[in-house]
């Protein structure tokens, strides 16, 4: 089948065997708390996907990464969400000798990174980390909570953003703490038995008086500087998460194609809408790879994300209808359809940014709160 041939070819180039091995695992197993998806992804070298080749990683471009994330969504919504946590955490690591050593360790050891990181909001200067810290002898003591937090059981490293004052009386600055997941004071707590993404290891990660040495903390600077610095990382998240959900809808459409459900017009409509959305994601990904992170790029990324969200809604609904009621009632179709709807709950919400985008189109500055 030619559907998603480019995504399969890209995955095979970077992560040989990933597509075939995931395809051998029953869907019910991949979408369960006993899913082997993350172990397979680790085994084929996935943790190093977006670590630079100079640091021992695979050096995938953002365009290639969105293709692989879409393929993950086809195989397993849970796996796509968990891997997205790792990939976006890798993208958020600031440059520097210490963090380069960290990324080399991640790539060499096949380590997974999770994040208790407050998301930067381009156009504002207010960041609210989920973790707080205070100075102690030899470093810092951190406390706080991140929920929901995917990849919580398989994570080897937890990164956390925190506002810290370097010295008494100094203004607080945003900093990044890198903590072994096994550190005393880190606890993983269940969020409940959710029916969506059961294999994503999504729980609460709670930090209680976690001691972090001085050398494990990197200061970004004042919040307005961080906002500018992390603008491109924020955009990477929007594109990668959109590709994940596009893959989830693509999984439903692939079932329609395999079963030859509906008319040729139905099937062409489904494939065409998904491919148009993916082309838009790839185009903006190429733009960001070229260094663009200005307000116009932010606006384009958000427009593409919400266009992809609507495409996922429409295609998943039609594909589910064509697959029929029996599959919906007793198969995994209902679970995947519910997963497709969750893109609407990732920040920022469409309602929250409608006014800022509308004002930006009219010529005002873009301020996304």
CATH 2.40.110.10 fits 114-222, yes or no: yes
Per-residue pLDDT at 178 exceeds 70: yes
Q: What is the pLDDT of residue 251?
A: 97
Per-residue pLDDT at 328 exceeds 80: no
Coil, helix or strand at residue 162: strand
Average of per-residue pLDDT across 344-359: 91
Separation in Å, CA 231 to CA 69, 114, 234, 238: 21, 20, 5, 11
Residues 6+ apart with CB under 8 A from 160: 115, 116, 117, 129, 130, 131, 142, 144, 146, 176, 177, 179, 207
- The better pLDDT of the pair 143, 218 is held by 143
Q: What is the DSSP string of 195-255?
A: SSSTTS--EEEEEEEEEEEGGGEEEEESHHHHHHHTHHHHHHHHHHHHHHHHHHHHHHHHH
Separation in Å, CA 328 to CA 75, 197, 322, 324, 337: 18, 17, 10, 7, 9
Q: What is the pLDDT of residue 227?
A: 56
Q: What is the pLDDT of residue 100?
A: 86
Per-residue pLDDT at 90 exceeds 50: yes
Which string of b and e fits 164-177 if b means at least 16 CB within 10 Å? Answer: beeeeeeeebbbbb
Q: What is the DSSP string of 335-361?
A: HHHHHHHGGGGSSSPHHHHHHHHHHHH
Least confident of 63-77, 124-138, 157-171, 302-316: 124-138
Coil, helix or strand at residue 108: helix
Residue 190 CB neighbours (<10 A): 10
All structural domains of the chain with their residue ranges: 5-111, 114-222, 226-361
Task: For residue 40, give both structure tokens.
Answer: 């397979």
Please tell me whether the peptide bond between 320 and the residue prior to it is cis, using omega within 30 degrees of 0: no
Give the integer Cα–Cα distance in Å for 11 and 72.
Answer: 9
Per-residue pLDDT at 229 exceeds 60: no
Strands (DSSP E) found in the chain: 113-116, 131-136, 139-149, 157-164, 173-180, 186-189, 203-213, 217-221
CA angle (190 as vertex; 250, 252 as ends), nearest 5:
10
Q: What is the CATH superfamily name and number for domain 226-361?
A: Butyryl-CoA Dehydrogenase, subunit A, domain 3 (1.20.140.10)
**What is the chain's mean pLDDT, rounded?**
90
- The better pLDDT of the pair 262, 225 is held by 262
pLDDT in tens, 33-52: 999 999 999 999 999 999 99
Class of domain 5-111: mainly alpha
Rounded-to-10 torsion of CA 73, 79, 81, 83: -110
Query: Measured in whole angstroms, how far is the alpha carbon of residue 26 from the centre of its chain?
Result: 24
Least confident of 88-97, 166-175, 227-236, 241-250: 227-236
pLDDT in tens, 91-145: 888 777 778 889 999 999 999 999 987 554 444 333 567 788 999 998 999 999 9
């Amino acid at each position: 089948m030619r559907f998603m041939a480019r995504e399969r070819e890209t995955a095979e180039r970077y992560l040989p065997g990933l597509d075939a091995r995931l395809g051998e695992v029953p869907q019910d197993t991949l979408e369960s708390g006993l899913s082997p998806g993350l172990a397979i992804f680790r085994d084929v070298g996935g943790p190093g996907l977006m670590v630079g080749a100079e640091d021992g990683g695979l050096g995938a471009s953002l365009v290639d990464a969105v293709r692989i994330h879409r393929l993950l969504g086809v195989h397993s919504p849970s796996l796509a969400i968990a891997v997205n946590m790792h990939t976006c955490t890798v993208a958020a690591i600031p440059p520097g000798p210490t963090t380069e050593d960290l990324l080399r360790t991640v790539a060499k050891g096949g380590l997974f990174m999770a994040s208790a990181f407050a998301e930067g909001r381009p156009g504002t200067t207010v960041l609210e980390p989920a973790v707080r810290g205070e100075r102690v002898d030899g470093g810092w003591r951190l406390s706080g909570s991140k929920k929901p937090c995917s990849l919580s059981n398989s994570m080897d490293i937890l990164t956390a953003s925190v506002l810290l004052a370097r010295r008494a009386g100094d203004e607080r600055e945003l900093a990044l703490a890198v903590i072994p997941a096994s550190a005393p004071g880190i606890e993983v707590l269940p969020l409940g038995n959710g029916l969506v993404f059961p294999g994503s290891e999504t729980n609460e990660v709670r930090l209680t008086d976690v001691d972090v040495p001085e050398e494990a903390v990197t200061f970004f600077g004042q919040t307005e500087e961080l906002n500018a610095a992390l603008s491109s990382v924020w955009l990477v998240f929007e594109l990668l998460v959109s590709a994940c959900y596009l893959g989830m809808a693509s999984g439903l459409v692939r079932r329609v194609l395999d079963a030859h459900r509906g008319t040729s017009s139905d099937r062409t409509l489904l494939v065409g809408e998904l491919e148009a959305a993916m082309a838009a994601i790839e185009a903006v990904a190429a733009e960001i790879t070229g260094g663009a992170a200005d307000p116009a790029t932010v606006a384009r990324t958000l427009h593409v994300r919400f266009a992809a969200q609507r495409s996922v809604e429409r295609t998943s609904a039609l594909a589910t209808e064509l697959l029929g009621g029996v599959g919906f009632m007793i198969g995994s179709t209902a679970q995947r359809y519910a997963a497709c709807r969750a893109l609407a709950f990732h920040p920022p919400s469409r309602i929250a940014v409608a006014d800022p985008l509308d004002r930006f189109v009219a010529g005002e500055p873009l301020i996304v709160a």
